Structure 1
Amino acid sequence: MTPPPTTSSLTAATTPRRPWIALILLGVPVLLALLGPPVAGDDAPRHDALPSQPPGAGHLLGTDVLGRDVLALVLRGGASVVGSSLAALAVGAALGIPLGLLAAGPRRQLDETVMRTMDLLLAFPGLLVLMTLAATGHRDWFWLVTVAGVLQVPAVARLVRGAALAPGSRSVVEALRMQGHGWAYIHLRHLARELAAPLATDAGGRFSLVLYLLASANFLGLGLPASSPDWAVLIERNSDALFTQPAAVLVPAGLLTALCVGGNLLVDHALARQRRRP
């Protein structure tokens, strides 16, 4: 009889053995976001360029519905995608980490107040909030990133609270408190080191969620203006010309997919390596 697989063999079997695939999928759109704008050139419509032209001489990826060069737009559009997602993650962490630490403190009433407020915030669908803001005229980059970041606060705060309330963390915190150490020393020096790993792992997966929310908002016209080279905006603007000029839709869609899938694969690989550690 064949012996049942051990935990180590199961982990090895499910571990991504080729992290370079994730690095390539994630690295290509990130490099385009970083290096693309300086080399993109002018993306303004040319007088001799027809709209929705297929790839050809002078336009390697063709033109969009406004007659702009798709390659230049793709090179410029990654900066807003990556920058907006990272900025929203930063907003969520800047608000969620302190709230989670406050909830994990010794005051039970404060814990209840913070957590019930987070529960209330969780009840609001992200796209519905963005639609409401767009209807009131708040549809620029600042509001888009701020709202997307605030919507991540409950999950970040719950993660921080749970890690800070873990038995191992609580025993050390109580010992440090009995030794006379203050709140800043305990939370900013000790707990910060304990929370670094789970927060980094969560940020990798949460990046895809934020990217999906922002891309959906831009695709629905709730965020950036229609003239923006953002990849999601390009997909929405050129969706009617999918069959006549597919490159204007498939290239930015492929880059968004690669960014999301590459980030998820890299997080899975990091988690698998962490599970293998003794």
Structure 2
Amino acid sequence: MTPPAETPTASGAAPRSRPRAALLLLAVPVLAALLGPLAAGDASSARDALPSRPPDAEHPLGTDVLGRDVLWLVLHGGSSVLAAALGALLVGVAAGVPLGLLAAGPRRLLDETVMRGLDLLLAFPGLLVLMTLAATGHREWYWLVAVAGVLQVPAVARLVRGAALAPGTRTVVEALRMQGHGWTYIHLRHLARELAAPLATDAAGRFSVVLYLLASANFLGLGLPASSPDWAVLIERNSDALFTQPAAVLVPAGLLTALCVGGNLLVDHGLARRTRRR
């Protein structure tokens, strides 16, 4: 019996719509972060006005508690969010991948040394570390990014170590060693392909973790100065005016949410598509 003609169409519509929704969710905050400063102009565009005013013709999103144009702040606040989160994620991956491969090597003593040291780092709460850093006077943005990245190293290293020690991976690695291939070929060609999928999946979720950590630090006043247009700082500065001027809180909060959800959905779709092709 031939299945109804609409069945394949109906079953295929949902998967096709998912990447579009993910791209749309991701494109809005990313484009706002990259092109927003060009569209908004310089600081003179954010003319002083009465604080916490609702949207009007002159200020489409109203003003914040300091009387600044919320639209101008939103268009200027995404670049710091995107740069800090990507920078911290890059630090975590750049340090975690080699440590994970080192721990997955044949020397058990080295494995124990690396992993127990990373377990010690994993025991420290992220916000507590950032609060301690701020209390010692290290409030610059690069300290915040560096420490947030270092806090991701244990989780990244554990993921890499687990993937490299998987039975199927170990069998291939041993076979390549018996064929005379060196460390560079095995790790940079074979293991790199094997680790690409789990690393991509973890990177999307870890981006959300890093973004949450950095946003929480900025929300608590541990990172960027209070005058910064950063989306997290904007939420913190206007949280008391949520009911009188909700756009100053909900718009940057929505952009942060779209950035996390869109990135996760896009990576999940890409990995699912790669699995179906296999």
TM-score (ref. length: structure 1)? 0.89
Contact 1:44–1:68 (Cα < 8 Å) also in 2 = no
Could you tell me how far apart the structure 2 residues matched to 1:15 and 1:39 are? 34
1:64 aligns with 64
Local SS of the residue matching 1:181: coil
Tell me if 1:173 matches 2:199: no
Local SS of the residue matching 2:59: coil
Summarize the alignment of residues 76-155 of structure 1 with structure 2, pairs less than 5 Å apart.
Answer: 76-155=76-155
Could you tell me how far apart the structure 2 residues matched to 1:131 and 1:89 are? 20
Contact 2:48–2:68 (Cα < 8 Å) also in 1 = no
Could you tell me how far apart the structure 2 residues matched to 1:184 and 1:253 are? 44
Contact 1:45–1:67 (Cα < 8 Å) also in 2 = no
Local SS of the residue matching 2:162: helix
1:198 Cα shift? Answer: 1.4
User: How many residue pairs are counted as aligned between the two chains?
Assistant: 268
1:190 Cα shift? Answer: 1.9
Change (3 A) 1:121 1:44: farther
Task: Write the letter of the residue equivalent to 1:133.
Answer: L
Of the structure 1 ranges 81-90 and 260-269, higher mean CA displacement relative to structure 2 is found in 260-269
1:148 Cα shift? Answer: 0.9
Identity of aligned residues (%): 82
Could you tell me how far apart the structure 1 residues matched to 2:184 and 2:96 are? 17
Extract unaligned runs of 5+ from structure 1: 1-10
1:222 aligns with 222
Change (3 A) 1:54 1:207: same
Deviations 1:42-80 (A, max 9, x none): 335966522222111221111112221111110011111
Contact 2:234–2:252 (Cα < 8 Å) also in 1 = yes
Contact 2:86–2:207 (Cα < 8 Å) also in 1 = yes
Summarize the alignment of residues 152-163 of structure 1 with structure 2, pairs less than 5 Å apart.
Answer: 152-163=152-163
RMSD: 2.2
1:175 Cα shift? Answer: 2.1
Could you tell me how far apart the structure 2 residues matched to 1:45 and 1:19 are? 36
1:102 Cα shift? Answer: 0.4
Extract unaligned runs of 5+ from structure 2: 1-10
Change (3 A) 1:248 1:179: same
Contact 2:226–2:237 (Cα < 8 Å) also in 1 = yes
Of the structure 1 ranges 245-254 and 259-268, higher mean CA displacement relative to structure 2 is found in 259-268
Task: Write the letter of the residue equivalent to 1:117.
Answer: G
TM-score (ref. length: structure 2)? 0.89
Change (3 A) 1:47 1:216: closer
Could you tell me how far apart the structure 1 residues matched to 2:16 and 2:162 are? 28
1:268 Cα shift? Answer: 3.3
Could you tell me how far apart the structure 2 residues matched to 1:269 and 1:91 are? 25
1:245 aligns with 245
Could you tell me how far apart the structure 1 residues matched to 2:218 and 2:125 are? 16
Could you tell me how far apart the structure 2 residues matched to 1:274 and 1:32 are? 30
Local SS of the residue matching 1:18: helix
Of the structure 1 ranges 128-137 and 266-275, higher mean CA displacement relative to structure 2 is found in 266-275
Could you tell me how far apart the structure 2 residues matched to 1:116 and 1:48 are? 54
Task: Write the letter of the residue equivalent to 1:102.
Answer: L
Change (3 A) 1:222 1:163: same
Could you tell me how far apart the structure 1 residues matched to 2:156 and 2:48 are? 51
Could you tell me how far apart the structure 2 residues matched to 1:264 and 1:83 are? 18
